[in-house]
Amino acid sequence: MIVAGVFARGGSKGVPNKNLRIVGGISLVERAVKQALATRHITRVFCSTDSEAIADEAKRSGAEAPWLRPSDLAQDTSREWDSWVHMVKWLNQQGEFPEYLMAVPCVAPLRTVEDLNQCTELAVSSGADVVMAVADSYKNPWFNMVSIDAESGLVRLINEPPQRIYNRQAAPVVYDVSTVAFIIKCSYLLTATSIYDGVTRAVVLPTNHCVDIDTEEDIEYAEFLLNKRDKGK
């Protein structure tokens, strides 16, 4: 059994009321809820938020929102992991013991239901502790990502290879972690502290499915891609 959680706090700084913004004709919250409801293996969809307005929008869209997230889990510095734990503990207190939680952030409006289906299918078939969605990265810490020493100002590659690499194709393949979805085994979530502590697997998705909304420019770009996708149908 997989329970989905749409995680959407109210206090976004970069884009005020971000999770209620209309992108592609519907709010980010509504899109996340409806995609989760349409995903295979999902039995229930909950919304975790500190905002009454977001909770109302989630319920209108078909999710359950029986509580408001405590304020200490809704700060800029709060870990999403702790909100995942909070949801699973609440479910356990109600006598619900799902095998997995699928965390569905609202900020990835370009993902598709099929993207989520790939994630749930991998979790069910592999028994992994964590399944995440990733995309090809155009930056590589062995080739074109650097740090600058705060004192000397000297530039260094993030990872120094044994032999100098002169093109990206020759560098080890790396991926960007997306906000499309995270599927976490609930027993693992309650005992671990990171998605990387156990058996973690990934679904590789197209880069244009993994746009993350952090700025107004991201919203404009997402609108452009959604319009282009709709015209191609």
Say which CATH number the domain at 198 has.
Answer: 3.90.550.10
Of 173, 196, 222, the domain-final residue: 173
Are 26 and 37 contained in the same domain?
yes
**Predicted confidence (pLDDT) per residue in 186-198, tens digit:** 999 999 999 999 9
Tell me what pLDDT residue 162 has. 86
Are 8 and 36 contained in the same domain?
yes
Give the pLDDT means over successive 10-residue stretches in the chain (233 positions): 95 86 96 98 97 97 95 85 96 97 97 98 98 96 95 95 88 96 98 96 97 95 93 71
Are 158 and 187 contained in the same domain?
no
Which domain covers residue 200, as residue numbers?
2-132+176-231
Q: How many angstroms separate the CA atoms of 194 and 190, rounded?
A: 11
Q: How many angstroms separate the CA atoms of 86 and 84, rounded?
A: 5
Are 86 and 157 contained in the same domain?
no
Q: How many angstroms separate the CA atoms of 45 and 5, rounded?
A: 6
Tell me what pLDDT residue 230 has. 81
List of residues 6+ apart from 23 with CB closer than 8 A: 31, 109, 213, 219, 222, 223, 226
How many separate domains does the chain show? 2
Q: Which amino acid belongs to residue 226?
A: L
Are 50 and 103 contained in the same domain?
yes
Tell me what pLDDT residue 19 has. 96
Are 193 and 89 contained in the same domain?
yes
Q: How many angstroms separate the CA atoms of 188 and 127, rounded?
A: 11
The phi and psi torsions of 56 (rounded to 5 degrees) equal -65, -40
